[in-house]
Amino acid sequence: MKSKFRHIALLGKYHLPQPGSSKPSSRLVLESIAQFLHTQGCEVVLEHETAANSGLQGYPVMDVQGIGQSCDLALVVGGDGTMLGYARQLAAYNVPLVGVNQGRLGFITDIRLNAFSETLRPMLRGEYEEDKRALMHAKVWRDGHCVFDALALNDVVVNRGATSGMVEMRVEVDGHFVANQRADGLIIATPTGSTAYSLSAGGPLLHPSLPAWVMAPIAPHTLSNRPIVLADTGEIAIDLVAGRDASANFDMQSLASLLLGDRITVKRSQHAARFLHPRGWSYFDTLREKLHWNEGVA
């Protein structure tokens, strides 16, 4: 049976194997996946930075915009951070993504590298589960002007400076004052990001089907300041009241330095990331495996 996807892009983070490591280089991995896709009747395109860094040749090369406009599927090889970066860029084009895990955790890159061909073969025929993940649209405002604009799939984080004390933030939800928070920072996380930094800060896990965010303080001065789950239909606004060298991070991949009086606004983006998983995939299976639930239970 022919592949449902004719034009597939390969995107990945380049790395060389560490001395003594049994992991193959990214070039060998990408080459073996590209050859497999070719045997399935697919036309393979390489993302331009992936091609340049890996040195893999013999395939057409496109930038992310070109991939978004012309490809049926994006196959991302790497870890969750690699997937986050490409998911944000491709969300506007509604291109589905499949993740082959070459990292460690693999919450959203869930295909094992050593079993990619057996797993991908039925998926290419249309046997998969589709999973849409909402993105956040965040802006940094200064003196009434937007000075930074970014999307985030995991989280928006306001952090104190590395050598400074706590930051003080005034938080509003839909124009209603919530609280002045004194803490090391504040996390606004999507359900996708609820298993990342927010979880480390004591936030709850949110099922990805929920239209919700979690707002979690980082080491709050007042211990009664606890994580709260909010509807993602409104707007969260954070004003920086006090603190030096603070910054706003977006998926921990882009950063804006903040000045006192800056305002960070967070809304739900009009775009969503589309992830494809193997047939029978379950979010609870992922949690059980990645968080080591049930270990030691007979």
Supply the residues annotated as catalytic.
Answer: 80
Asked if residues 33 and 55 have their Cβ atoms less than 8 Å apart, the reply is no
Angle CA(222)–CA(226)–CA(231) in degrees, nearest 5? Answer: 140
Q: Are strands 96-101 and 236-242 parallel, antiparallel or unpaired?
A: unpaired
Q: Are strands 228-231 and 247-250 parallel, antiparallel or unpaired?
A: unpaired
Distance of CA 67 to the CA centre of its chain: 19
Asked if residues 113 and 79 have their Cβ atoms less than 8 Å apart, the reply is no
Sign of CA dihedral 228, 230, 232, 234: negative
> Which residue carries 């939800």 as its tokens?
173
Beta strands in the chain (DSSP E): 7-12, 43-47, 61-62, 73-78, 96-101, 111-112, 128-142, 145-152, 155-159, 167-173, 176-183, 185-189, 212-218, 228-231, 236-242, 247-250, 254-257, 263-278
Asked if residues 290 and 106 have their Cβ atoms less than 8 Å apart, the reply is yes
Distance of CA 8 to the CA centre of its chain: 21
* E strand or H helix at 87: helix 80-90
Side chain identity, residue 41: G
